Amino acid sequence: MLSSLGLRTRRYANVLVGITGLLGLAINTCPQLLKPQRRRIFWLLFKRQLYNSGLRAASINTIIAVLLGVFVMSKAYSVIPNNMQFIDYYAQFFNIVVNREIGPLISGIILIARSASAVTAEVGQMQLYRQFDALSAVNMSPALVFLLPVFFAFPLSLLLMFFYFNLICVFTSYAVIELYHEGGITLMAFIRALLEQLTFTEVLVSMTKALVGGCLIGLASLFFGYNVQDRFTDVSRAISNSNTFQLFAFFVLNVGLSYLVYL
């Protein structure tokens, strides 16, 4: 059992070393973007990645945000006393539960399930069929073509998804009030109460979760995809290992940051 634990720790350490290496490579490749030719090809691929990982996730993001917003805020509504301070408590609950924790976590899980798996499968298949040779044949840098678009698009996608998730939740939370509450609270009053609860630290922590988490998820996808060997089953194994690692790492990042800052 101890040896299995040791092996697993070593495997995770190897993954972290690999991801750190990719991070270094990404930073090292960034100066290439100063060249106009490199920038225009990067821009095309970056837009494609952002569209696939960020914008195309909007529908599933909306459905989950609506369902979760209605469910969580209905629960909150049922336990918060209906008095003069109702709206403040309600906004505070929204801020602590949705804004601080559920928003980043659910957005991250959607990114892992939708886009990170796709990138791992894409890169894994390319590795399996030796398509990186084709890239070498036209002398294009894999770091610029695959690494940088993911490196920039994933954090930005997660930030957009997180913002979008919260926005939808704000409206569904207000819909819950409209449905049950008889105090005549306006949408503007609700938004004002939410903004009063929101601190600069919370915005900063949420942005850190999105940017660091997105970067980690993206680099892990590439790392596992690139490590595919000769067997077809290596691709499915890479996706499975990649998702497990990403979920674990993203959860640790979320809990760790919340624990450090809020507790």
Partner 1 sequence: MTCLQFDNVDLRFDDNVVFRQLNLRVNSGEIVCVETGVLDGGSSLLKLAAGLCEPDDGNIIIEGLSLRDMTEQARFKATCMAFEDGGLLSIFTNYNNIAFPMLYHTRMSEQEIADQIQPLAEALAMADLLALEPHQLNDVQTRMMNLLRAMVFRPKLILLDEVQSGMSHEMRENMLNVLLREQQEHQYAVVMTVTAGDRTDFADRVLAIHNHQLEEVQ
Q: Which residues bind partner 1 (CB under 8 A)?
A: 36-38, 40-41, 44, 122, 125-126, 129-131, 133-141, 144
Q: Least distance from C-beta 246 to partner 1, angstroms? A: 21
Does residue 42 contact residue 148 with C-beta atoms inside 8 Å?
A: yes
Residue (of 124, 127, 142) closest to 26 by Cα position: 142
Q: Least distance from C-beta 65 to partner 1, angstroms? A: 30
Q: Which is nearer to partner 1, 136 or 199 (CB)?
A: 136
What tokens appear for 152 in the block?
């920039």
Q: Which is nearer to partner 1, 95 or 127 (CB)?
A: 127
Q: Least distance from C-beta 141 to partner 1, angstroms? A: 7
Q: Which is nearer to partner 1, 45 or 72 (CB)?
A: 45
- What own/partner pairs with CB < 8 Å and gap ≥ 24 does 98-102 have? 98/68, 98/69, 98/72, 98/73, 98/166, 98/169, 98/173, 99/166, 99/198, 99/202, 99/206, 100/202, 100/205, 100/206, 100/258, 100/262, 101/254, 101/258, 102/68, 102/72
Q: Least distance from C-beta 187 to partner 1, angstroms? A: 43
Q: Which is nearer to partner 1, 101 or 122 (CB)?
A: 122
Q: Which is nearer to partner 1, 95 or 221 (CB)?
A: 221
Q: Least distance from C-beta 114 to partner 1, angstroms? A: 17
Nearest-5° Cα angle at 155, 204 to 56: 120
